[in-house]
Amino acid sequence: MSVVLKEVTESGLEAIPEHRRSKLPQAYTFFSAVVLSVWDNILGPQVHHVWFGATSGDLQPDIVHYVSSHTLNGEIVRTDLREKPGDRISAKLFVFAEKRVCVTAFIFKGYAKSAPCLFSLCLVMMLDQLPSYLPLHDLCEAKMQICVTKLIGMQKKEMAISRFSKTIQEFVQSISNITLAPLSNVKLQSTAFQASVEIFERDFLKRCITSHLQTCCCTIVVGETIEPVNMMISTLALFLSPTERQRSRYAVDTSDLIYESDLFLQGLLLERGETGHKQIPGHEVVRTKLPSTLINVTRFAVEQTNPSHKHHAMRDDFLALEHNLMMEPGMRRESALRPPDTSKTVLGSKATLPAVPDSNNFYKNVFHETYDQSKLVQDFLMEVFQLLPACGVREAYISQFVRLLQRKSLALIKYVEAESSRLDHPLEPGLSRDIIKKLKRALSLEIEGDFKIILATAEKLQPGMFLHLLGDPAAQCRKVQEELEVL
């Protein structure tokens, strides 16, 4: 008995068996360790595997078992017998001041020796990293939800941990890449507004800013040279909040940098003659929470994905199909990941989605070129270039323009709430066309480009505004199907 107690209480880093330890990439990252634990009905929480980072030496000796027990002990009441592995993944943030660490834990039901068991996958970091980590918490949570789903699917096969090690290392590397070239304090001198001479052509800059604002300020900038790419990123960053800038990055002169989903701004360098399509996997773009703009500063092309409500409908379908594929390793890919039979414009050329896509072509055609006109952006550019670039005058005017968009968005939200309170039926189909026309006239948004900008800004302030105003495309499709079935 004493031997067993000694083994359980001896919880130093060296006490973890060699076959239960792996290394994380040595690049700078927030995470000192990643701990996978499992609930044992006899012994309680048990460390299943640990991935140690470059800063794991700063952790206290007993931290691994401490994290394991404190994240799983509180889940003993999670006894829903109908819950299956993968049905629910709970994310929790713990701050253990006495241990000088903070932990993001993901609690889920998985498989241990082919039997359903409760697991926790914990990201362990030093407490002084918390202020830098918090702006990226939502991003890490979204990526880890996918990692956990992959792990549950892998647990049905042999060598699950060795296969999952590659997944967790790719996750840590992706977070490190975000901090590789962060947007710190953006200066006017590094933007297209630095001088009276226009660096980018006025019409191209107008299209870039318009599409950037229409897609909730989520933009990918690509090009063959780094200077114009980073200048465009700095220009568009002026329309972001400080927190959103922390979820953005500049382009760097390295081939290791790849596209990362759920960033607000990011830059990628292209080889001569490339369009950016190969560097940006379509299924990764669909997986993002917000629609995206793609700007090619070499070809002067501006493209964007579907509006927010249609993007969310496509994203929900994709995540459901991807979840089925991960949870059923024996399922054929063509039966689980079959995109809708449709034709879209890809980078200016017509292309049809393949009937049975492979991993590289799935949801390839998600961008379409945009030429939307916006009087708000046109007037803004005309007036900002009339101001002197010195003494902070242009910076103040740009900030005032952002506040103008937010005030109009708040007015739109209040208008929609007032109209919704008068309706007796639910808003699933969206507001009527007459109400939307009346709203556009009241807010001086008759131009469709202006309306999309204000609606996208309102979506950031109050998520779901696209659905409330324009309706859920999935629900509208179901309604049409029901009506056709009655005929």
Tell me what pLDDT residue 174 has: 86
Tell me what pLDDT residue 328 has: 67
- The yes-or-no verdict on residue 362 having pLDDT over 50 is no
Contact 461, 410 (CB under 8 A): yes
| Residue 418: exposure state from Cβ atoms within 10 A (0-12, 13-18, ≥19) | exposed
CB hemisphere CA count around 346 (13 angstroms): 18
Taking residues 296-309, what's their average pLDDT? Answer: 92
Contact 153, 360 (CB under 8 A): no
Cα(158)–Cα(233) distance, rounded to whole angstroms?
Answer: 45
- The yes-or-no verdict on residue 430 having pLDDT over 80 is no
Among residues 137, 236, 197, 167, which one has the least CA distance to residue 25?
167
Could you give the percent of the chain with pLDDT greater than 90? 37
Distances (CA, A) of 200 to 183, 228, 232: 21, 9, 9
- The yes-or-no verdict on residue 239 having pLDDT over 80 is yes
Report the range of poorest mean pLDDT among 29-43, 45-59, 314-328, 439-453.
Answer: 314-328
One-letter identity of residue 160: A
- Distance spanning both ends of the chain, measured CA to CA: 74
Tell me what pLDDT residue 423 has: 67
Cα(370)–Cα(349) distance, rounded to whole angstroms?
Answer: 13
- The yes-or-no verdict on residue 18 having pLDDT over 90 is no
| Both tokens assigned to 92 | 């929790």
Taking residues 410-415, what's their average pLDDT? Answer: 93
Tell me what pLDDT residue 366 has: 86
Contact 118, 107 (CB under 8 A): yes
- The yes-or-no verdict on residue 53 having pLDDT over 50 is yes
- The yes-or-no verdict on residue 464 having pLDDT over 90 is no
- The yes-or-no verdict on residue 78 having pLDDT over 80 is no
Confidence (pTM): 0.82
Taking residues 423-440, what's their average pLDDT? Answer: 73
pLDDT tens-digit profile of 394-410?
999 999 999 999 999 99
Taking residues 419-440, what's their average pLDDT? Answer: 74
- The yes-or-no verdict on residue 351 having pLDDT over 60 is no
CB hemisphere CA count around 294 (13 angstroms): 27
Cα(310)–Cα(173) distance, rounded to whole angstroms?
Answer: 31
Full 3-state SS string of 356-404: CCCCCCCCCCCCEECCCCCHHHHHHHHHHCCCCCCCCHHHHHHHHHHHH
Going by C-beta distance under 8 Å and a sequence separation of 6 or more, which residues neighbour residue 178? Answer: 136, 139, 247, 249, 260, 263
Mean pLDDT of the chain: 81
Residues in the chain: 487
Torsion of CA 333, 335, 336, 340, to 10 degrees: 110
- Tokens 């999935």 sit at which residue? 474
Tell me what pLDDT residue 336 has: 44
DSSP three-state, residue 36 = strand
Q: Output helix, strand, coil percentages for the chain, rounded to the nearest 5.
A: 45, 15, 35
Query: Is the alpha carbon torsion for 125, 127, 128, 132 positive or negative?
Result: positive
Contact 108, 80 (CB under 8 A): no
One-letter identity of residue 179: T
- Would you place residue 359 in the very low, low, confident or very high pLDDT band (cuts 50, 70, 90)? very low
| Both tokens assigned to 111 | 């498989």
Tell me what pLDDT residue 62 has: 85
